[in-house]
């Protein structure tokens, strides 16, 4: 499963290709991912310009003037920037076509990924309960002590809980605990 560093790398990889570019078309080949791709996705973003690319935890956020597209890569998903005429493969489910002639394609063999919409001024329920980012001041010893208080849970499960801290999956939990000698 892509963890926070991989999601950050994906954001940085797609940003120069889509930021300040206008969406000219949306192709949804498979609307049934982890959750249903919004049926009105094309109506929401075609003709609109990307104004920012970022992430919150493992969610990639593509911002428009009317809201944000939330993309989660699930267990096996990836985003690729390709020429818009690139033929689709079996596991290519959603494509955002841009005025540059390029597209961003979501490929997800296991279909555990998600493409969701968050209207301007709202916070999607999946983002509302997320814990702090691990490299921010909000994630500190006080926060971790409060999260641990009254729990009898394995520490690995605790640090993988996205309500405690976002973006930590199995690989990075193992590495962090090994480095800490736990």
Give me the active site residues, please: 2-3
- Alpha carbon 106 to chain centroid, angstroms: 11
Number of residues assigned to the chain: 182
Count of beta carbons in the 10 Å neighbourhood of residue 32: 10
Order across the sheet with 102-107: list the strands. 23-28, 92-98, 102-107, 78-83
Structure-block tokens of residue 114 = 């998600």
Count of beta carbons in the 10 Å neighbourhood of residue 16: 11
What is d(CA 167, CA 5) in angstroms, rounded to the nearest whole number? Answer: 8
Count of beta carbons in the 10 Å neighbourhood of residue 85: 7
């Amino acid at each position: 499963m892509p963890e926070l560093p991989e999601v950050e790398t994906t954001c940085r990889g797609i940003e120069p290709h889509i930021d300040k570019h206008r969406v000219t078309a949306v192709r949804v080949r498979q609307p049934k991912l982890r959750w249903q791709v919004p049926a009105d996705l094309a109506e929401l973003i075609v003709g609109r310009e990307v104004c920012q690319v970022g992430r919150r935890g493992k969610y990639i956020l593509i911002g428009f003037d009317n809201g944000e597209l939330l993309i989660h890569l699930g267990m096996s998903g990836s985003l690729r920037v390709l020429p818009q005429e690139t033929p689709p493969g079996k596991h290519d489910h959603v494509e955002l076509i841009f005025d540059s002639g390029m597209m961003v394609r979501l490929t997800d063999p296991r279909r555990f990924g998600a493409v969701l919409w968050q209207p301007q001024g709202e916070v999607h329920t999946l983002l509302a309960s997320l814990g702090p980012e691990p490299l921010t001041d909000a994630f500190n010893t006080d926060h971790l002590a409060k999260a641990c208080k009254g729990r009898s849970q394995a520490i690995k499960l605790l640090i993988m809980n996205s309500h405690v801290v976002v973006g930590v999956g199995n690989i990075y939990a193992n590495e962090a605990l090994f480095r800490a000698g736990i």
